Structure 1
Amino acid sequence: MSTKKVCVILAGCGVFDGAEIYESVFTLLALEKAGAIVTCVAPDVAQMHVINHATGEVAAGETRNVFVESARVARGNITPIADVKGSDFDAIIMPGGFGVAKNLSTFATQGAECSIHPEVERVLKEAYSAKKVLGAICIAPAVVARVFGDNNVKLTIGSDSATAEQISRTGANHIEARVTDVVVDNEHRIVTTPAYMLGQRMSEVKSGIDKLVQNVLELA
């Protein structure tokens, strides 16, 4: 059993405008099974927009808060990301969901030229500088690529050519992978898996996330 301290960065609640719920739950479940000590965090900011998940359309005039929505996934046990330091943890893990590309960054609209939420970037850089381990799931590797691409980090979002091209433009080295695969960059201590960038079934997404958590904890 691991007693590693892991920070899980959430981006809201819901695949189209927040954190992908299955990916988040699979991550938290794998960490719990491994005995890790988990702290869920999120920035206290408004979402880019709200999506009606029944229709896929933008809910005009509706607003939601990333921190408040993330608390739904964390069952209320959540900390503002501004209150933590990346170096205080053994590892940082980011599940995916469009909220990563809309709320934690502007990747959805700006691709390789995106900006990263300053508190998210700070926590990632603190962890990286302290040689902690970073895990990124689904679209979240795009954030890691934007922050650390100049270091030629290796990572994956699966096989989507358009997204992979944007990641390559950051300087990162994109590695094509299957949904059940992980890409481990031992030099930079970064682990990534495609999850719902490729996955069609919960079971295969969970398999990749289980491997990611295992590798993150082993590196930590």
Structure 2
Amino acid sequence: MAAVRVLVAPRLASALLPLSRYHRAPSQRAALHSSAPRPGARVALVLSGCGVYDGTEIHEASAILVHLSRGGAEVQIFAPDVPQMHVIDHTKGEPSERESRNVLAESARIARGKITSLAQLNAANHDAAIFPGGFGAAKNLLCCIAPVLAAKVIKGVEVTVGHEQEEGGKWPYAGTAEAIKALGAKHCVKGVTEA
């Protein structure tokens, strides 16, 4: 299985340096801004809607796509096919009570329609996964137990949910460390102020 590096947008510049070592034969997936397949690192870009307050931060996603394209990466864009947590009216910065939107449909705006349901993402088909910022990442993608999701998708990854002992209720998810290990990942004991 290909090693998958989980990257976040602030680390993108340093992450692009090793892209030149990934030279593969062209595949059926086309680069975002070209109709012809391009060799390079295979990158999964996971979006969470469209708009900084309820989805993916558009400038961040666009910058990532531009830099990956320039670096010769082969990008495949994904988003969950689920309702958004809520819709924010970006002109007012307030929730819009009468609207509902689908994360996949909204993310397709950024992807220019070339998007796949997150349920179809297979980590073995990608060298890296990038999750751009925006409040949608927290509202539409994550939950308090997100490290367990990483353990399920990325075999051998190192994650933490704090400590492995309850310590009188101080670490209520301590038992989750065993589930992480059972999924083939390594649990690292960390305090809330440790990286």
TM-score, normalised with respect to structure 1: 0.54
Q: Deviations over 1:113-157 (max 9, x none)?
A: x14499xx2xx43653267xxxxxxxxxxxxxxx8894369xxxx
| C-alpha displacement of 1:173 | 3.5
Query: Corresponding residue for 1:173?
Result: 194
**Residues of 1 paired with 2:56 and 2:189: CA distance?**
26
Q: Within 5 Å, give how 1:86-105 maps onto structure 2.
A: 86-105=123-142
The answer to whether residue 90 in structure 2 is matched with residue 64 in structure 1 is no
More helix by share: 1
- Is the alpha carbon distance of 1:126 and 1:38 closer, same or farther for their aligned partners in structure 2, counting shifts above 3 Å? farther
| C-alpha displacement of 1:96 | 0.7
* Percent of aligned pairs sharing the same letter: 42
**Runs (5+) with no aligned partner, structure 1:** 107-113, 132-146, 154-167, 175-220
Q: 36, 44, 51: which one pairs with 2:88?
A: 51
Say what the alpha-carbon RMSD is for the aligned residues: 2.8
Q: Within 5 Å, give how 1:1-220 maps onto structure 2.
A: 1=20, 2=22, 3-106=40-143, 114-116=144-146, 121=149, 124-125=150-151, 128-129=154-155, 150-151=187-188, 169=192, 173-174=194-195
Across the two proteins, how many residue pairs are aligned to each other?
Answer: 133
**Higher Cα Rg: structure 1 or 2?**
2
| C-alpha displacement of 1:20 | 0.5
Specify the SS of the correspondent of 1:103: helix
| Counterpart code for 2:194 | N
**Residues of 2 paired with 1:6 and 1:128: CA distance?**
14
| Counterpart code for 2:151 | K
TM-score, normalised with respect to structure 2: 0.60
- Is the alpha carbon distance of 1:4 and 1:21 closer, same or farther for their aligned partners in structure 2, counting shifts above 3 Å? same
